[in-house]
Amino acid sequence: MMTDQAEALRRMVTESTPTPAPGSAPGSVPGNPGTPGNPGSSSGSGPTMAAGTGSVLGSHASAAVSAGHRSPPLAGQSRIVSVTSPLRGQTLARVVAITSGKGGVGKSSMAVNLAIRLAQMGRRVILVDADLGTANADVLCNLAPSASLAHVVAGRKTIGQILIDAPGGFRLLPGASGLSQIAALGELERVRLVEQLRQLEEQADLLIFDTGAGVSPNVLSFVAAADQQLVVTTPEPTAITDAYAVIKSVYRRRPDADFRILVNMVRSSDEAIAVFTRLDAVCRRFLKLTPRFAGHVMLDARVSLAVRRRVPFVLENPRCEASLCIGQLAHRMDRHAAEPRDMGIWHRLTHWWIDKRNPLV
């Protein structure tokens, strides 16, 4: 079975890409009627465009913590011993996890620039740099935070003390290197981190998690716990293959995950459609899963220049092709940003991170 999957995927990613249609507009999506940048396309000739975020979330569970664990309390707070529930009827943020199968596909840049566009549209946005091994969202924003998630895990800072304002109007929760082995933390430390992160749902309309690349347990936990899973890939065969690996791994944890595919660094909308079609075919054949097409971002030299200058490209070149594509993605995501949820992300993180010998109440 594995051999069949690998062989099928290799064939699909090595097929030739169709010639781009003349006059393709940045951000246009062939075959999707009413899509920004491509009004009047005929229906039924292209992939389904993701119109908004996925399944709704909302109530929390509490986790009992065994009394035998001992760990210092958070700075300025009493010891945390449980994951608490929000007030009844409280509006919780929608959570989007941005992930990829391999590094170098522009995942963090997409996360930062998408957060800016959504903030400019009036949404309260918090970007969580959840790449616990090689966090770099602060670098892309030319920020130098004095504290990070490492301080929260150690109990020296609270979430509120490390949140910082970022360019474009969103808030950033800086990640840190050296936290890749979350599973090695004690149970109380994991409860502490979940309890602190849970507070973010009450402070924002949208939480964007910039996860690490690959299929490590930490990456999969963050991705599977989100409302929507935005998988970033490029036309490179290795990027497509690794994107499928992430989708397959998350699907095993959460079969109802809402996968959206964002194809970065494309030369035309046709190239993006071709990449999505190959990935969609493999998912349908082997997982009986139908991901949705989130859109694409054009290959643009001004993006690389902005990265070197440590300025988000939607701020430095708001009218370049890549910025227009990000703007269209933001508008699609914003349509359902304020919908209520019936389960919170921290319910799932509690289930996967906290020792299962302690029952969820």
Report the CATH number at residue 237: 3.40.50.300
The pLDDT-based confidence of 334 (bands split at 50, 70, 90) is confident
Structural domains counted in the chain:
1
137-170 residue pLDDT tens: 999 999 999 998 888 877 889 999 999 999 999 9
Within-domain flag for 117: yes
Query: Residue 268's pLDDT is what?
Result: 97
Query: Residue 335's pLDDT is what?
Result: 79
Within-domain flag for 23: no
Query: Residue 217's pLDDT is what?
Result: 78
Q: Does the pLDDT of residue 280 top 60, yes or no?
A: yes
Taking residues 300-308, report their average pLDDT: 95
Taking residues 173-191, report their average pLDDT: 69
Query: Residue 96's pLDDT is what?
Result: 94
Q: Does the pLDDT of residue 49 top 60, yes or no?
A: no
Within-domain flag for 241: yes
Average pLDDT across the chain, whole number:
76
Within-domain flag for 207: yes
Taking residues 25-51, report their average pLDDT: 40
Within-domain flag for 42: no
73-132 residue pLDDT tens: 344 333 333 334 444 445 678 899 999 999 999 999 999 999 999 999 999 999 999 887
Where in the sequence is the domain holding 170, given as residue range(s)?
48-68+92-353
Higher pLDDT, 17 or 49: 49
The dihedral over CA atoms of 114, 331, 26, 51, expressed in degrees to the nearest 10, equals 110
Within-domain flag for 73: no
266-278 residue pLDDT tens: 999 999 999 999 9
Within-domain flag for 341: yes
pTM given for the model: 0.74
Kindly report the number of other CB atoms within 10 A of residue 215's CB atom.
17
Query: Residue 216's pLDDT is what?
Result: 82
Within-domain flag for 162: yes
